[in-house]
Structure 1
Amino acid sequence: MRFFLRRAAFYLFTAWAAITINFFLPRMMKGDPVSAYLQKNQGTISPEAIESLRTLFGVDTDASLLRQYIDYWGLMFAGDLGRSFSKGLAPVADVIAVALPWTIGLVGIATIIGFFVGTSLGTIIGWRRGSRADALVPIATFFSTVPYFWMGLIAIALLSSTLGWFPASHAYSKGARPGLTLEFVADVIEHGALPALTIVLASLGGWILGMRNMMITVLDEDYVTVAQAKGLSPRRVMVSYAARNAVLPQLSSFALSLGFIVGGTLVMELVFSYPGLGKLLLDATTAKDYPLIQGLFLVITLAVLAANILADVAYAALDPRTRQTEA
């Protein structure tokens, strides 16, 4: 219990610091969202409407910075992240809610598949070190070193334009009506297969290499030798003794990769013209849409914190020594 309380206190403080920085950072930048909005709508807004906009965007010059900070927390707890002027003054939470499922659905699933496939292959390659299975390591590492945009373009040219196996872009066919129907779901899966494949190939080398190296290190430990001396089956020794301890460092990397799912997909979404948070962040930055940028940074920060919390819980469950040391 002491372990979980200490970790909870740490993450609460981290969340407070991140949200506070997220509040002050846009206010330290040159200009403000109202000025950027007025540049796009010159001569169409009255002075009274300008003051209303300043209140709406949380940059009311009549209110103190402390008052704005308190109001910011109150609005955030109410689910109000402001208004996006580049999206017709639509609520920021609604704009993010539209793009978030596409990013999580594609990149999240691809990242999980890459982790489990890479970790499983790394376990087998490390267990059978010195065998022909080692040839997979340089092959997978090569795909990891290729720039992602180049790999995406090659995949489009080969698998889409030449062979016609997958659509080249977008999340679903033009003219399709979104809905929970088998036809639409199949269309989404077909369009997401190619970018998901490139994500898995790009990440596979790191997972394989990391797990293989940890397996080689763990196999020299005394508890593995004792388990083999007891006559346990090779499969049980590999999974329950070697892999269980070797996978621990992988969990930290996996947590970080999960956290950056919501913000680290910009290149993929540009190459495949895929809707998501990465493309939305680029559009918001180009339009100087500070409320939307602020909301996206908040979502990315909370996603990273949530992923690290899950990693800590999994780490403590797999390795009791962690709980004892923290306690």
Structure 2
Amino acid sequence: MMEEVWGPYTFPLATVGFVVLLLFLLDSMWSFLQTCRALLAPLFIPNEQTSLLKKYGPWALITGSTDGIGKAYAVELAKRGINIVLVSRNEERLRNTAKEIESEYFVKTKIVVADFSQGFKAVELVKKAVGLLPINILVNNVGKQYEYPMYLSEVPEKELLDIININVGAVTMMCRAFIDDMKKRGRGAIVNVSSGSELQPLPLMTVYAATKAYIKSFTAALRYEYGSSGLTVQHLAPMFVNTKMNAFSARLRTSTFFVPDAREYAAYAVATLGKVDESSGYWTHGIQTFFTKFPPSWIRMYIGAHLNLSFRRDYFKQKNSTKNNGTIKGEDRIKSI
């Protein structure tokens, strides 16, 4: 009876199943090849010292450039003889970073004080400060994370708006501000830094992960629009990096095989520029991304939720160890989950 019902549909269904499986395997293989390429690329850095300068030009602009990945990325570009425009909201840190880079690598720097939580006002300020400088590499690194994993109702409204303005608004409007000039010159690179949190919905970092999913989608579409104009539009999606952004858990502030420091991460990430359009930016992150994609999204979300619950506990333990006065709201809620 079953053979009579399914008989006419056996071949079409088998064909569809085969195509789906083939596409999945091809996507997995492509991710694996990208991981291998990212792994091998740094071995050729001695032969690439001036290639980015020749390919794209003498000036790069990096947002969020006084700490973490942004600062390390600026240093890596300076090593290659590229002049750096440093953009951040802290003028003292900007001046210190500029001084470090100029004294070490003998390139020019320019600092711009801008707070991207102010939205388009900050982008206008950057554009005006840059003036006629030909920005050939734009690194949209600035981002805002939750202070620690929180339920949506616990996150202050201003913080939610800041996350959206900085993570979504800044990357969008900064691309728009400089992409036409790159197109006219027929060369240029845009690097949009996302996060591995884009791979699935992420409870307790709900809005943050959603903004990173936006960056992934936005960057892919932008590449389609401008790739034929000679522009490189790269998407970086790092996993955990030992930076202040992850200060809510001591486990993420210790460099390990899978959690590099910003300097190690940036050395690999810069080496992938112009070679791969999408990358985790670091070879062990590529391995993590490859295996993370295997389970369906709902399983990844479930795992991510439990990781965030553990990081949340870490945060409260750290708070308790500093003997802060008062009881932290939400602590009892964790214990009941």
TM-score (norm 1): 0.21
Larger Rg: 1
TM-score (norm 2): 0.21
Please identify which structure carries the higher strand content: 2
